[in-house]
Structure 1
Amino acid sequence: MHAFDVFRQYERNHWELSDIDFTAIDRSEVRPEYITLAKSAVMGECNSIAATHGFFNEFVDDYDFSAFACIWGYQELQHHYAFKAWLNALEVEVDQRPVDAMRAPYAPGSTPSATLATNIISELTVNHIYREVAQWVKEPVLNDILSRASRDEAGHAREFIHYTRTRLARLPHELPSVLETLYVYTSEARIKHPVGLFKDSLVQGVAEETIDTGFEIFLEKVAADGELERLHRKVRGAFGSMTGLELDTGAQIRRALAEAIA
């Protein structure tokens, strides 16, 4: 069972909240943008509860993936608490109301493979953004949290790719839904994330920061010219490697989708 191998690797390599020295925060290096970024990350990472619930509902016939979802959910909750603990150490209040508002599970995707594909995209996106933001952030403890979380997200993306590839080998008729998901998330010149697409409406008028707030800071303050296209190329390349198809452009994705449904 693949999740058993993931679990053993997790036991060898995982970090704990107690590994982070919150007393080492350099308050002289804390900028208002960092506070906003951390609050945005809190809002993004808290959705692991809703997502894990959704996974259990949708993959009721897949014990292996469900076991992995437990490991994934723990790590994502750890990220949520790490960013929250950094804010707490600075006496910054974190409003629990918008977190509570997003508790409901995600609805199933058009196919289970589409759900897995959506999570590949979200993990690759957050991995990229956390890594780039970590290089920009000068406060050392927040830098450490971002770096740890980025590495975790890379591992999560790898495992979601594994489960998608394995499922498509058994159920190739789900390929069109995977290609459609890729096109939806990479066809526009903006960052799309499932939390922003499906959950932000639940916290309108309640949350000052959402995950999209952090993405906006990334694009305005951190991203180099062409950064969004580099991110989209990374995502398309992962899907191309996973499916064996040429998916480097929107046109190629549309062509592959048309052939898959023909």
Structure 2
Amino acid sequence: MHSYDVFTQYERNHWKLTDVDFSAVRKDLVQPEYVTIAKSAVMGESNVIAAVHGFLNEFVDDYDFSTFAVVWGNQEVQHHYMFKAWLDAIGEKVDDGAVAAMRAPYDPGTTPSATLATNIISELTVNHIYRRVAGAVEEPVLHDLLLKASRDEAAHAREFIHYCRQRLARHPEERASVLETLYVYTSDSRIKHPVGLFKSNLTELEDHETIDTAFELFLERVADGDELNDLQTKIRRVFGSIVEMDLSTNRKVRHALAEVIAA
């Protein structure tokens, strides 16, 4: 099983939260926007429980992917707690009620392949933003945590890509749903993330940072003029490799979707 290879690789190479020296946090270098980023990341990463629950419900017939989902979930919980630990180190707290509101599982996607596609976009987006934000953060512990999380998200994206390819090989009729998912998340001038799309309207999140808060701050303080285009180009390139079609522009995504539906 592929999940066994992933599990053993993570066991050998993955970092441990207990090895991070949070006493080394440089409070004198902490900027207000760092706190906002960390609180937003805590909220985004707390969605892991809902996601794992949803995966196990939707992929009840796929032991291999379900096992990967549990391994993935452990690492995402680690991200949630690492940002929380950093906030604790500087005396900042996150509302537990807001975190608990993220618990409800996702409904199944239009197809299992669409669910996998959604998570590919999620991982690629957060990988990109964590890496770019790390470059702008001067506080060394948070800088290192962001880089660690970015590398983890890149590895997660690779595995979701694997399982999406595998799923489409067995169910080619789900290709249209993958293209639809790509279009939904890359068809306008905003950064879209599944957590923001499905959870940001919760009443418990009013007056609290969300993943969308971090994206807005990223675009305002860190991103350059071509940032969104660069991210979306990368995502389209990945999806093009999955379905073996040219998806380099939104126009081509629409044409590919029409072609697949008509076939």
TM-score range, shorter chain: over 0.9
Aligned-pair CA distance for 1:208? 1.6
Aligned-pair CA distance for 1:94? 1.2
CA RMSD of aligned residues (A): 0.8
Task: Show the counterpart of 2:33.
Answer: 33
Aligned-pair CA distance for 1:18? 1.2
Aligned-pair CA distance for 1:203? 3.9
Partner SS state of residue 136, structure 1: coil
Partner SS state of residue 247, structure 1: coil
CA-to-partner distance for each residue in 1:28-50, whole Å, 9 max, x for gaps?
Answer: 11000000000000000000000
Moved over 2 A (4+): 203-207
Distance 2:70 2:238 in 1: 24
Distance 2:140 2:211 in 1: 22
Distance 1:93 1:124 in 2: 28
Are residues 67 and 162 of structure 1, via their aligned partners in 2, closer, same or farther at CA, if it must alter by over 3 Å?
same
The answer on whether the counterparts of 2:98 and 2:205 sit within 8 Å (CA) in structure 1 is no
Aligned-pair CA distance for 1:205? 5.4
Amino acid at match of 1:244: E
Partner SS state of residue 53, structure 1: helix
TM-score (norm 2): 0.98
Structure 1 residue runs of 5 or longer lacking an equivalent are none
Distance 1:9 1:94 in 2: 32
Q: Among the aligned pairs, what percent are the same residue? A: 67
CA-to-partner distance for each residue in 1:57-95, whole Å, 9 max, x for gaps?
Answer: 000000000000001000000000000000001111111
Aligned-pair CA distance for 1:144? 0.7
Distance 1:204 1:22 in 2: 29
The answer on whether the counterparts of 2:113 and 2:178 sit within 8 Å (CA) in structure 1 is yes
The answer on whether the counterparts of 1:50 and 1:103 sit within 8 Å (CA) in structure 2 is yes
Aligned-pair CA distance for 1:206? 3.8
1:80-229 matched pairs, under 5 angstroms: 80-203=80-203, 206-229=206-229
Distance 1:28 1:241 in 2: 45
Partner SS state of residue 105, structure 1: coil
Aligned-pair CA distance for 1:101? 0.8
Aligned-pair CA distance for 1:207? 4.5
CA-to-partner distance for each residue in 1:208-228, whole Å, 9 max, x for gaps?
Answer: 200000001100000011100
Amino acid at match of 2:175: L
Are residues 150 and 203 of structure 1, via their aligned partners in 2, closer, same or farther at CA, if it must alter by over 3 Å?
farther
Aligned-pair CA distance for 1:7? 0.5
Aligned residues: 262
Partner SS state of residue 116, structure 1: helix
Distance 1:43 1:207 in 2: 13
TM-score (norm 1): 0.99
Aligned-pair CA distance for 1:204? 5.2
The answer on whether the counterparts of 1:102 and 1:203 sit within 8 Å (CA) in structure 2 is no
